[in-house]
A and B are shown apart, each in its own frame.
Chain A
Amino acid sequence: MKVVVCIKQVPDTKGGVKFKPDGTLDRGAMLAIMNPDDKAGLEAALRLKDQYGAEVTVVTMGLPKADAVLREAMAMGADKAVLITDRVLGGADTWATSSTIAGALRNLEYDLIITGRQAIDGDTAQVGPQISEHLHIPVISYAEEIKVDEKAKTVEVKRQFEDRYHIVKAKMPCLITALSELNDPRYMTPGGIFDAFDKDVTVWGRNDLKDVDDSNIGLKGSPTQIAKASDKVKKGAGEKVVPESDEAAADYILGKLQEKKVV
């Protein structure tokens, strides 16, 4: 069985966010980590490797420095890694990104493609389902459990909704988007880290993408365009008090609720 995991290197949003003058994100100026949902997807794939001897390939699209996140994935146990990087691919929205990644995936064999549900930078949750559409394969989003039937070539997934879950069965090849609730990802092993830096990362540029038109990549291939981006303006703080006693604290809140006619 062959499993491809799409991962993304994302800025750690806890460290604050920086912009370039044109309003786009200055990713180079922020700390970079493996996106948490993607890491859960990778862990799910590695468990299929433990169980069925699946071959796990990780794929990412980004700047050359995204190599680091692929090495991390290999140190965790991934077998192969592909970096899609090219200037002409920059500035892509989810449509152009998914079209690009689909172009790379057409070069690979896969029974399952696993992506994270969403990245913590964009928070869109769109690229996974959009890749599946470009490849004409089924998608099961929001996966909490994954069970594979190798013989029947099917997969059964616990798919989360707001007030219920479905057990959904799909034919492979199939794309699954993983929730970080799926599992606790393993750590890199010391041996794995050594091996990861000896292994090769396959680097693909625009010309390596299969069946992708120039009009469907990069900024020019992006239907959506940014009109404005900015840091969020914080709502002004109100009053803050340090009451002398618990009694005074309760009286203060009661007073405010009465003043505002809540009670």
Chain B
Amino acid sequence: MALEDYKGVFIFAQQVDGELSNIALELLGKAKDLANDLDEKKVTAVLLGDGIQGLCDKLAEYGADRVIVVDDPALKDYRTEPYTHALASVINEYKPEILLVGATAIGRDLGPRVSSRVHTGLTADCTQLDIGDFPLVPVEGQEQKHKQLLMTRPAFGGNTIATIACPEFRPQMATVRPGVMQKIAPNKGAKAEIVSYNPGFEENNCYTEIVKIVKEISEIEDIQDAKILVSGGRGVGSPENFKILEDLAKVLHGTVSCSRAVVDSGWKPKDMQVGQTGKTVRPHVYFAIGISGAIQHVAGMEESDIIVAINKDENAPIFDVADYGVVGDLNKVVPLLTKKLEAALAQ
């Protein structure tokens, strides 16, 4: 593998039902930063699907200089094999130095399969990406390589942080947690160079058949977009009692989210879950109500600007990350706070 043949920062532009996923735009934002730190400035989006040419302009507005489009009926809905074939073929043809993929239910299936096929490393679920030296400091008897992708990720349920490099193989591949990277303000009317590419699709034993697709339509706002999150844990006591959180959220124009314990108890759906196995959120204000603050939960919300915790257990670990912690009975304090906020806002 001639490493110097691999150039440019690429992102996998995930789309579902002909709509770009937020993660695609977030990856473009990060890719622009990384490209600025490298000699090769261009950001390339790889768009796979069926009848998806129309998405190119949006990718351009969010920072793509070039879009490589593989448009084929085989790519209509996500299936591992044709998507792997398409993305691996793009890699072999266009040789990216860096390839970012969203750590979504699609990306965490596609990424590993592609990395195995093209024989390169893949770092999972990254929360930070930088360009720097590997090893970080010079080590005698080992060449220090410059301008490497340094991929930082939590492991051990959020107990540890590791920074990983892929110095001898290309592309340097990472999956990136949704909700962590920032998209840029769209540059209206921006256009990208569009390259159509089709590697050809031939069914083999690895092709699967989609028998049925069942969408679990959610009426609720995506908790990753919320500026104010009112989050409840097991301490809320019952699904009915979430009403007091909903009332508080309503006054503040916020959204209700929850901890894993609440999802495991069947009180709330999984897409409302904050944490390591749920979503990463960074709202302006995060209310942790009746949430003890297991490290897996904290990993998903500690980047919030302001954290307010209400818990009756004064030793709850949530108080270690809260900016403002109140030891008290949520059943009393939350409705009172809602009432007082209503009054204050009415003035």
Is the A/B pair a real complex? Answer: yes
Residues of A within 8 A of B (CB): 11, 13, 16-17, 25, 93-95, 98, 120-130, 132-134, 136-142, 156, 160-171, 222-232, 234-235, 237-243, 246-247, 249-254, 256-258, 260, 262-263
Bound-state CA distance A75–B2 (Å) is 50
Binds A, one of B40-48, B231-239, B324-332: B324-332
**When chains A and B are docked, how far (Å) is the Cα of A223 from the Cα of B105?**
24
- The answer to the question of B207 belonging to the interface, with a C-beta cut-off of 8 Å to chain A, is yes
Q: A-B pairs with the 5 shortest C-beta distances? A: A223-B121, A224-B121, A133-B116, A238-B323, A124-B124
Tell me the interface secondary structure of chain B in the complex: mixed
Q: Bound complex: CA of A69 vs CA of B168, how far in Å?
A: 35
A6 CB to closest chain B CB, in angstroms? 14
Chain B residue at minimum C-beta to C-beta distance from A131: B116
Given A223-B166, A240-B327, verify A161-B344 contact (CB < 8 Å).
Answer: no
**Judging by beta carbons under 8 Å apart, are A163 and B164 in contact?**
no
Residues from chain A with Cβ under 8 Å of B163 in the complex: 226-229
The reply to whether A142 and B125 contact each other, CB–CB distance below 8 Å, is no
Contact present for A166 and B213 (CB under 8 Å): yes
Contact call B252/A263, Cβ cutoff below 8 A: yes
Given A237-B321, A243-B326, check contact A229 B112 (CB 8 Å).
Answer: no
Shortest CB distance B253–A (Å): 11
**A230 in contact with B161 (CB, 8 Å):** yes
Q: Is the CB of B80 within 8 A of A138?
A: yes
Name B109's closest neighbour in chain A (CB-CB): A141
**CB-CB < 8 A to B154: which residues of A?**
123, 232
The answer to whether the Cβ of B195 comes within 8 Å of any Cβ in the partner chain is no
A131 to chain B, nearest CB (A): 8
B147 touches A (CB below 8 Å): no
Q: Is the CB of B134 within 8 A of A250?
A: no
In the complex, chain A residues whose CB is within 8 Å of the CB of B326:
240-241, 243, 249, 252-253
Query: A123-B124, A169-B208 are known contacts. Are A225 and B164 too (CB-CB below 8 A)?
Result: yes
Cβ of B146 within 8 Å of any chain A Cβ, yes or no, is: no
The answer to whether A249 and B328 touch across the interface, beta carbons within 8 angstroms, is: yes
* In the assembled complex, B308 has its CB within 8 A of some CB on chain A: yes
Taking CB atoms, residues of chain A closer than 8 Å to B228 are: 262
Question: Does B196 lie at the interface of the complex (its beta carbon under 8 Å from any beta carbon of A)?
Answer: no
- Judge whether B160 and A231 touch: CB under 8 Å: yes
Q: A95-B121, A251-B340 are in contact. Are A165 and B333 (CB under 8 A)?
A: no
Q: Is B104 an interface residue (CB 8 A)?
A: yes
> What are 9 of the A-B contact pairs (CB < 8 Å)?
A16-B159, A94-B112, A133-B112, A223-B121, A223-B169, A250-B340, A254-B340, A262-B228, A262-B252
Tally of contact residues, B, Cβ under 8 A: 91
State the total of A-B contacts with C-beta under 8 angstroms: 261
Q: How far is the CA of A247 from the CA of B319 in the complex (A)?
A: 20
Evaluate contact between A240 and B319: CB separation under 8 angstroms. yes
**Nearest neighbor of A174 in chain B, beta-carbon distance:** B208
- Which chain A positions have C-beta within 8 A of B218? 163
A163 in contact with B160 (CB, 8 Å): no
Q: Contact mask B304-347 → A, CB, 8 Å, 1/0?
A: 00111010001000011111111111001100110111001100
CB 8 Å contact bits of B84-95 with A (1 = contact, 0 = none): 100000000000
**Secondary structure type dominating chain A contacts:** mixed
A262 and B285: CB pair below 8 A?
A: yes
**Inter-chain contacts of A257 with B (CB < 8 A):** 285, 308, 341
Q: A13-B156, A223-B168, A227-B135 are in contact. Are A238 and B325 (CB under 8 A)?
A: yes
| Complex contact B108–A141 (CB within 8 A) | yes
Q: Does A260 lie within 8 Å of B165, measured CB to CB?
A: no
Q: B322 contacts which chain A residues (CB < 8 A)?
A: 237-238, 240
The answer on a CB contact under 8 Å between B325 and A240 is yes
Q: Report the minimum CB–CB distance from A19 to chain B (whole Å).
A: 8
> Given A123-B157, A138-B208, A235-B320, 14 other A-B contacts at CB below 8 A?
A95-B119, A123-B125, A126-B112, A130-B115, A169-B211, A224-B166, A226-B163, A226-B164, A227-B136, A240-B326, A246-B333, A249-B337, A256-B306, A263-B252
CB-CB < 8 A to B121: which residues of A?
Answer: 93, 95, 222-224
Q: Is the CB of A263 within 8 A of B324?
A: no
Known: A237-B320, A250-B340. A95 touches B122 (CB 8 A): yes
Q: Which of B150, B159, B302 contacts A231 (CB 8 A)?
A: B159
- How far, in Å, is A96 (CB) from chain B's closest CB? 10
* A242 vs B315: C-alpha distance when bound (angstroms): 12
In the complex, which residue of chain B has the Cβ closest to the Cβ of A99? B116
Which residue of A has the minimal Cβ distance to B302? A235
Q: Is the CB of B327 within 8 A of A241?
A: yes
Q: List chain B residues, Cβ under 8 A from A25.
A: 156
A16: chain B residues at CB < 8 Å are 159
Q: Are B105's CB and A142's CB within 8 A? A: yes
Q: Which chain B residue has the least Cβ–Cβ distance from A216?
A: B119
Cβ–Cβ contact B284 & A227, under 8 A? no
A81 to B332 CA separation, bound complex (whole angstroms): 56
Contact B319 A237 (CB under 8 A): yes
**Residues of A close to B155: CB separation below 8 A:** 121-123
Q: How far is the CA of A222 from the CA of B115 in the complex (A)?
A: 12
**Do B162 and A161 have beta carbons less than 8 Å apart?**
no
| Contact between A253 and B324, CB atoms less than 8 A apart | yes
CB distance from A147 to the nearest CB of B (A): 10
A262 touches B284 (CB 8 A): yes
Contact B162 A225 (CB under 8 A): no
A263 to B167 CA separation, bound complex (whole angstroms): 49
Taken together as a complex, chains A and B put the C-alpha atoms of A230 and B320 apart, in Å, by 19
A142 to chain B, nearest CB (A): 6
* A225 in contact with B314 given A17-B159, A161-B106, A253-B337 (CB within 8 Å): no
